[in-house]
A and B are shown apart, each in its own frame.
Chain A
Amino acid sequence: AQKITQTQPGMFVQEKEAVTLDCTYDTSDPSYGLFWYKQPSSGEMIFLIYQGSYDQQNATEGRYSLNFQKARKSANLVISASQLGDSAMYFCAMRGLNSGGYQKVTFGTGTKLQVIP
């Protein structure tokens, strides 16, 4: 079974500061992918960043970077230079293979980030 854990239900960050959102995972699959999604108050799910389990480099997308520590099974999202528009729920997710050999996607419970002016 695979599991995603986000231990921070809510976070505050000052505008223009960096913030780290924690995500740990558990899986027995040798190959998997880790994702971060943003869900603003309007409700849509927006893809932010992806990290493959075999990728040597940490993924980066603009102000987003994924701090991937495979041995610790963590995939933290770092947002640099926070903006007011970053206020949203953030979900960590994992794609792996279940026992039947089929793709399995699991989402964490999310972290609500609020950026303070």
Chain B
Amino acid sequence: DAGVIQSPRHEVTEMGQEVTLRCKPISGHDYLFWYRQTMMRGLELLIYFNNNVPIDDSGMPEDRFSAKMPNASFSTLKIQPSEPRDSAVYFCASSSYEGGNHEQYFGPGTRLTVT
């Protein structure tokens, strides 16, 4: 398997622009997670899906952030409008309950810079 795929790997945008981050989970995994990592706040869980349904979005910072999972093989995280404080590395991870341990496999991350 190719692992979790994220695109783009790097994104530089201007404040106010819309940003869309993409994720393809590992085939067969039924959980998908979006995280944000910054020096100040560490690794934060933003939202997670189970079987394409958003389960817990309590970590989403504000209404400017939205996430969708239209099918089992694709998810997006959108920021509209973007702000400089959104600059961070955004990770997507997927897992399966099979085996019971819920080990999460992380993608390589998208480094977002908002100027």
Q: Chain A interface (Cβ within 8 Å of chain B)?
A: 33, 35, 37, 43-47, 50, 52, 91, 95, 98, 100, 102-110
Contacts and interface: CB of A to CB of B under 8 A. Distances in A.
Contacts of B105: 47
Interface of B: 31, 33, 42-45, 48, 50, 55-56, 89, 91, 93, 100-106, 108-109, 111
B57 to A, nearest CB: 11
Contact of A110 (B42, B55, B89, B91): B42
Contacts, number: 52
Q: Is the interface of B mostly helix, strand, loop or mixed?
A: strand
A104 B58 CA distance: 10
B56 A98 contact: yes
Contacts of B93: 45
A52 B93 CA distance: 20
B77 to A, nearest CB: 16
A103 B31 contact: yes
